[in-house]
Amino acid sequence: MSRTPVLVTGSAGFIGFHVARRLLEQGRKVIGIDNLNQFYDEGLKEARLQLLKAQPGFEFVKMDIADLNAMEALFGKYELETIIHLAAQAGVRYSLENPHLYVQSNVVGFVNLLEAAYKRKAQHFVFASSSSVYGSNKKIPFSETDNVDHPVSLYAATKKSDELIAHVYAHLYGLPVTGLRFFTVYGPWGRPDMAMFKFCKSILEETPIEVYNHGKMLRDFTYVDDVVEGVIRTADSPPKIQPGATNEGSSSQYKIYNIGNNQPVELTRLIEVLEQKIGKKALIKWLPMQPGDVPTTYADIDALSEATGYRPHTPIELGVSRFVDWYLEHYHVAKTARSVQAQR
């Protein structure tokens, strides 16, 4: 990765914050951008941002990636050779309610970034895709060579669109591009709309947890520190041109990788681990499958491991323990809620 500033989009978001912080800890300069939207608790984004601003080498620009003029001005001001694009409108279910917002952020904003990156001759463009592109794929574990032409949510469709558009820029303009299909990332500073956060909050407050598909769900929960390691290893390793080789049918400087834990966990097991850590039993409301949701996610990570040495090492018990500790401290929950069974 170049020693010029690294652009991290979505730097006040969950994964973006952790990636930016790790880069700063490594002594690299980071330009962070975020529009600080109110999809979830705005205070959480502000708190993450304040931690980043306290570190030397970080500069923040508040902007929307869908604003073409702002994007052109940004790339005109800074020399940006490495782009780690993590900004997006997230959430599978919300995409069914507000489709235009997803198209603006995840497609229009994505093209704005690609245009700026290739015109300024960026050395590597890394972007966040999603495990949701696999839809209701029955073959497990999910492999990058699987067909992903049948998304079951608009969010997934925008992410698949990003992968296709990115390939065009790699093919036509020689822009080195890598897409990462994230699998259920969790950990401290996580999003309030995700299961880990919602379940923890409900158990502590003794309110019912809504568990879909009557608990018959498997998720490849991936601890955020492992994800950050994979993102930075990837950013440091731009794809090479390999004539005749194929990655989703491409011989351009273009790669798609899964980035997961490779160990799916049943939702009921997740709840058990949270109960043990918190020291309270969950109240559960069993519900049917929700539109746009899928029963299983399970990542084949061999390709990323071979290319970068990535290998996750955080078991769900340790990851949950760290998340709950953060939650109790950040939200000032009484320490008596801690369980003696907690693993550190």
Identify which of 40, 52, 43, 42 has the alpha carbon closest to the alpha carbon of residue 16: 52
Is 40 labeled as catalytic in the residue annotation?
no
Q: Token digits for 88?
A: 């997006």
CA–CA separation, 251 vs 245, rounded Å?
6
Q: In what order do the strands lie in the sheet with 58-62?
A: 58-62, 30-34, 6-9, 82-85, 124-130, 177-182, 254-259
Catalytic residue among 155, 169, 254, 327: 155
| Continuous segment of H or E residues that includes residue 271 | helix 267-278
Which residues 6+ apart lie within 8 Å of 256 measured at CB?
A: 129, 144, 163, 178, 179, 180, 181, 247, 248
Q: Which long-range contacts (CB under 8 A, 24 or more apart) does 287-291 make?
A: 287/210, 287/211, 287/212, 287/213, 287/214, 288/212, 288/213, 288/214, 289/212, 289/213, 290/93, 290/212, 291/93, 291/96, 291/153
Contact 175, 118 (CB under 8 A): yes
Q: Which residues are designated catalytic?
A: 155
